Amino acid sequence: LAKTTQPISMDSYEGQEVNITCSHNNIATNDYITWYQQFPSQGPRFIIQGYKTKVTNEVASLFIPADRKSSTLSLPRVSLSDTAVYYCLVGDWGLTGGGNKLTFGTGTQLKVEL
Amino acid sequence: ETGVTQTPRHLVMGMTNKKSLKCEQHLGHNAMYWYKQSAKKPLELMFVYSLEERVENNSVPSRFSPECPNSSHLFLHLHTLQPEDSALYLCASSQDRFYEQYFGPGTRLTVT
């Protein structure tokens, strides 16, 4: 299992760019990196997924260096509504037929203020 | 609205009661999951069903009994629970095992 390490919490202000880094030193060749967002008393929501380099969608960007031992979720111009817990997951999405057990860590509590 | 619904949203039960949590997905997915989330703890994966077959049971006590009658429905039967079982129980589904998961809103369970 590829273990992930994230900061416990981060604070930011509206309009700022927020970068949350996740360490996954023992990531395997077949592992993908996925980020989820969770609001209180709700289920997590998929944000973005990548394998290497950079992935961008309408919500966020995901930067993955060449060694893939870390990844950075970038949220452009955050707002109060982005206050949530962000989880980084690493795992094989079953593409090789086996599939790793994906584990949610403690996540990063992002607090956005005015 | 993620396409995954859970009922009830809130449940209070005594330690000797028997109750069931229901999850339904309208996404045509083949895999379904039960998670437990206790206060200030990470999500704990409890059970995984793929094509209606249980493929993972992560050392969950027998007082929790899952059932997957078809690919759209998942139940979690509860009996003789303990107060420490109070938590948010989340259901999720995905196209196939471990692909992007879509979560329901959860059932807030309180065991008294």
Count CA within 13 A, CB hemisphere, residue A28.
17
CB contact A107 to B (< 8 Å):
yes
CB contact under 8 A, B42 and A91: no
Q: What band does A97 get if pLDDT is binned at 50, 70 and 90?
A: very low
CB contact under 8 A, B42 and A34: no
The pLDDT tens digits of the residues spanning B28-43 come to 999 999 999 998 788 8
CB contact under 8 A, A94 and B96: yes
- What is the distance between the alpha carbons of residues A107 and B82, in angstroms, rounded to a whole number? 27
Beta strands B107-111 and B10-13, pairing class: parallel
Residue pair B106/B90 in contact by the 8 Å Cβ criterion: yes
| Among B41, B58, B103, beta carbon nearest to A43 | B103
Q: Find, in chain B, the residue whose alpha carbon is nearest to that of A108.
A: B42
The pLDDT tens digits of the residues spanning A18-72 come to 999 999 998 888 888 999 999 988 889 999 999 999 999 999 999 999 999 999 9
The pLDDT tens digits of the residues spanning B12-31 come to 999 988 999 999 999 999 99
- Preceding omega of B8 cis (within 30 degrees of 0): yes
Q: Does A98 have pLDDT greater than 50?
A: no
